[in-house]
Structure 1
Amino acid sequence: MSRPLRLAINGYGRIGRCVLRALYESPHNSGCQIVAINEPADLATMAYLSQFDSTHGVFPGTIEQAGDGLLVNGRLVQVSHEHEPDAVDWRTLDIDILLECSGRYGSREQLQPFLDAGCPRVLLSQPGNSAQDVDYTVVHGINQDGLTGHERLVSNASCTTNAIIPVLSELDAAFGVEHAFLTTLHSVMNDQPMIDGYHHADLRRTRSAMQSIIPVSTGLAQGVERLLPQLAGKVQAKAIRVPILNVSAIDLMLTLRRDVTEQQLNALMMEATTRYQGLLAYSNHPHASVDFNHNPHSAIIDGSQTRTNGDGFANLFVWFDNEWGFANRMLDVAQAWADRFREVEMPDQAASRAYS
């Protein structure tokens, strides 16, 4: 039996903490271990926010300080508090993958210091600035089989990309997508202030997050085209921040190559849930966003909101927990990547890293 997959987290904010919780709350992640965290915040605050979370509730286990680290369900996690990628000696931690969850680094030049400091591989919690800045971008359930095991920089794309790519892929295969317009209704994020303030170069993001619906820029259209190149030039997107703490939605407007009915679209989405088990779900209950808090799926189709209007025009509504679903996908991709790089390890190296 090979050793557990050894993971470290850089940046212990919303996604970083959700990744740690998801590892302990999801049984299929039992082959992974978080062995180290780098986060500038002080240890006492890290322990407190790990145990008590206003969005996802109390951690279902024990987290406490132990010297300079965290003791999570009795297992020690080493903690450092550095601000720069190369200030941590990642090599001595003997990790397999660093989960870069700070959101600060998007270019190959910015990410190279992690590799130079001993990280064998880095999995980003955001898209690369360009396709060339990472070796591969993964949406789990779509293209993880394209991993070779030789990559060093991999992106987990974005929460919105993970939500919409399986839906668009199914629609394009079944009916042909001529045009798609995506409007993301996204919960508030840390780049917005609670009250008006000098918080961001985007003037809209200087306004109070909890008092307004705020349009923001988005790269979702480009993210879709990276993963589904057959839709290049056919996708447009915009994003609107809404004053809720968690759970987002995508209003998807489509022109398809042939007329379809609401029943046909919903039947396709229901059928797709079997192909994307654990990733795509379907419901037609009269939902509100809070119903999907702490939901691990990448996307949930709300069949009650499906509409058509002739001439191939269709409208679907997709819910997703932008924190919890995405954190679970990071662990899924880490394990899929590990399956590949373990295959290409030298036999003697693999043997030396095994234990009984």
Structure 2
Amino acid sequence: MLWSTLDNKLNIHFEYSNLWPSGKWLDEGKQLDKDGKMNLISCIAAGFVNVNASSLLARYLLGFGRIGRLVARVALQSNDVELVAVNDPFITTDYMTYMFKYDTVHGHWKHSDIKVKDSKTLLFGAKEVTVFGHRNPEEIPWGEAGAEFVVESTGVFTDMDKAAAHLKGGAKKVIISAPSKDAPMFVMGVNEHEYKSDLNIISNASCTTNCLAPLAKVIHEKFGIVEGLMTTVHSITATQKTVDGPSSKDWRGGRAASFNIIPSSTGAAKAVGKVLPALNGKLTGMAFRVPTVNVSVVDLTVRLEKAASYDQIKAAIKEESEGKMKGILGYVEDDLVSMDFVGDCRSSIFDAKAGISLSDKFVKLVSWYDNEWGYSSRVVDLIRHVASTK
């Protein structure tokens, strides 16, 4: 995604490329205009979203996959966001329209008509959206399009050097919608206040880190975390196999996703130490991939510094969910299951009835997250935050 200021408008671009399904090559400035509207330019599989800045939205998606399409949906449902262009060298505008319009999990797109005007133009209602088809990020004319921010959503260009290719195309900022080994990571509600305007390439971390970090922040600030283990029970993603297939680096990961519970690795818990340095080295974790198509849940088991009853812990989380972390951290006491959280835009929804304590210093906490919609919502929020930081 890219942001730029043209005629008192902030423009954001998204680029999506249709390389390999999610994880490899995916198959898949804040300023108000005269009307107080924000333009977001999203580049979808080489596409852009244009946002008029009442918030800063800049986005580049290399891959019109799950996150790419859903970030576009989130942006388009905002009153301050306008889609202006997409970029994808691998799919036609007809197929792009189909993929955006129909979604097995999140339903039909009903907020505006979407149709093809020609091979290089989509129509969202009466709004024309330009479609580019460049394979090399350096060749996408971000500068000519007036874009300043790019959201890198391929899962490929996730380090500083690779993501910098977008800067060569004219982008001013790059938001990586994945964990990064060397780009600064920011989690909304946790450490976004540490962002400085001279940082040109940043990461929104992972969906699991976005769920875990807000919960861990509250617990550590209120009671202190000595150490902990995290397990995420995670829905299927596009990197997995529909039937048993080759996966030389992760043999179990090559087994049929819809028939198995698959143990897997995750760096989400360790990544919390990057956004909350006080917890660096205190958390680690693993994942179980399970045969559900969306919504995941974090199981965080920690040893506390300060003694606390489970009721006290619940009260602390509830207070934060209704205060400064409202919209990021949620709190529920109803007897809910995973499908009840589809479309929930919060990063982490604490399940008060699901947790347990062994003692006043050893507790298991459970928090849900829509790993698609919640994460996509945070990408857009981070763009807004970056755009508003001077």
TM-score (norm 2): 0.82
Is the 1:308–1:315 Cα contact (8 Å) retained in structure 2? yes
| Ranges in structure 1 where 5+ consecutive residues have no aligned partner | 344-356
Q: 1:43 aligns with which of 93, 117, 128?
A: 93
Cα distance, 1:215–1:205 mapped onto 2, change above 3 Å: same
Which ranges of 4 or more aligned residues in structure 1 deviate by more than 4 Å? Answer: none
1:89-168 matches, cutoff 5 A: 89-130=141-182, 134=183, 136-168=184-216
Q: CA RMSD in A?
A: 1.5
1:1-356 matches, cutoff 5 A: 2-3=32-33, 4-9=38-43, 10=61, 11-27=63-79, 30=80, 32-39=81-88, 40-60=90-110, 61-67=112-118, 68-130=120-182, 134=183, 136-199=184-247, 201-273=249-321, 274-310=323-359, 312-340=361-389, 343=390
Is the 2:67–2:376 Cα contact (8 Å) retained in structure 1? yes
> How far apart, CA to CA, are the structure 1 residues paired with 2:340 and 2:65?
23
> How far apart, CA to CA, are the structure 1 residues paired with 2:122 and 2:290?
34
Identity value in percent: 31
Deviation at 1:14, TM superposition (A): 0.4
SS of match in other structure, 1:70: strand
Residue number in structure 1 paired with 2:48: none
Is the 1:187–1:246 Cα contact (8 Å) retained in structure 2? yes
Deviation at 1:283, TM superposition (A): 0.6
Deviations 1:5-51 (A, max 9, x none): 43333221100100111112244xx1x33322222222211100111
| Ranges in structure 2 where 5+ consecutive residues have no aligned partner | 1-7, 9-31, 44-60
Is the 2:302–2:364 Cα contact (8 Å) retained in structure 1? yes
Deviation at 1:150, TM superposition (A): 2.1
Is the 2:310–2:360 Cα contact (8 Å) retained in structure 1? no
Residue number in structure 2 paired with 1:350: none
**Count of residue pairs brought into register by the alignment:** 334
Is the 2:142–2:148 Cα contact (8 Å) retained in structure 1? no
1:236 maps to amino acid: T
TM-score (norm 1): 0.90
Instruction: Kindly indicate which of the two structures has a greater share of residues assigned to helix.
Output: 1
Deviations 1:242-291 (A, max 9, x none): 11100000011010013221211111111011221111111111111000
Is the 2:267–2:284 Cα contact (8 Å) retained in structure 1? no
> How far apart, CA to CA, are the structure 2 residues paired with 1:138 and 1:34?
25
> How far apart, CA to CA, are the structure 2 residues paired with 1:164 and 1:156?
13
Deviation at 1:74, TM superposition (A): 2.4
